[in-house]
């Protein structure tokens, strides 16, 4: 099963374009897709519609927080859209000691692109880890009792990791030794 891939919207002031490009270059190097207005919005496109579309598709918004970005009406528009779409907001603080708005001040922030990269690497590892109960190698028997046992195994498997997470389902007519049963919490 492939882990969910992050898609990051980068919110910044045009004054901070150098920071934004460096961040996107770093994200690309660690295979995190990103939305950067200068790349995804063409001449003649409806800017506001493209921003909303990008935010709707993204999993996270990275705010490049600087004195300029905290004065930008577009940055606050993007933040508002991200909140409306319930996206995670990650703050990349470019100026130490910068006073963040109260709605951002209580959240942990990054001071380098490497910190942001570590965040996404950690999330990738966490999403790749099995969730819930995974059943492998359960014995089955033939006849009516075997059908009941297979159905119970299927229900347990489905309820443990969710119906949309099932990659495949196999049954066997031979009994497997107890040592081949594996339970992961």
Q: Which pLDDT tens digit goes with each residue over 141-163? A: 555 555 555 554 554 444 444 44
Average pLDDT for residues 97-120, to the nearest whole number?
Answer: 90
Q: Are 138 and 183 in contact (CB under 8 A)?
A: no
| Four-CA torsion 39, 45, 49, 51, nearest 10 degrees | 20
7-128 CATH = 3.40.50.10140
The pLDDT of 31-41, averaged and rounded, is 88
Which pLDDT band, with edges at 50, 70 and 90, does 183 fall under? very low
Q: Is the dihedral of CA 74, 41, 54, 58 positive or negative?
A: negative
Residue ranges covered by each domain of the chain: 7-128, 130-185
User: Taking the model in full, what pTM does it have?
Assistant: 0.67
Output the six-digit token pair for 155.
Answer: 């229900």
User: Percent of the chain having pLDDT more than 90?
Assistant: 49
């Amino acid at each position: 099963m492939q882990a969910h891939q992050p898609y990051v919207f980068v919110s910044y002031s045009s004054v901070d374009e150098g920071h934004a490009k460096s961040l996107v270059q770093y994200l690309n190097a660690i295979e995190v897709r990103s939305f950067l207005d200068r790349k995804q919005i063409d001449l003649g496109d409806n800017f506001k519609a493209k921003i909303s579309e990008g935010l709707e598709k993204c999993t996270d918004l990275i705010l490049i927080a600087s004195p300029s970005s905290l004065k930008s009406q577009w940055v606050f528009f993007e933040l508002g859209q991200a909140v409306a779409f319930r996206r995670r907001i990650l703050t990349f603080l470019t100026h130490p000691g910068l006073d963040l708005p109260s709605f951002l001040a209580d959240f942990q922030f990054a001071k380098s692109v490497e910190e942001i990269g570590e965040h996404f690497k950690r999330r990738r590892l966490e999403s790749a880890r099995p969730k819930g109960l995974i059943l492998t190698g359960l014995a089955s028997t033939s006849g009516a009792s075997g059908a009941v046992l297979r159905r119970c195994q299927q229900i347990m498997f489905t309820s443990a990791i969710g119906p949309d997470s099932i990659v495949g389902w196999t049954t066997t007519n031979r009994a497997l030794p107890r040592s081949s049963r594996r339970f992961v919490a």
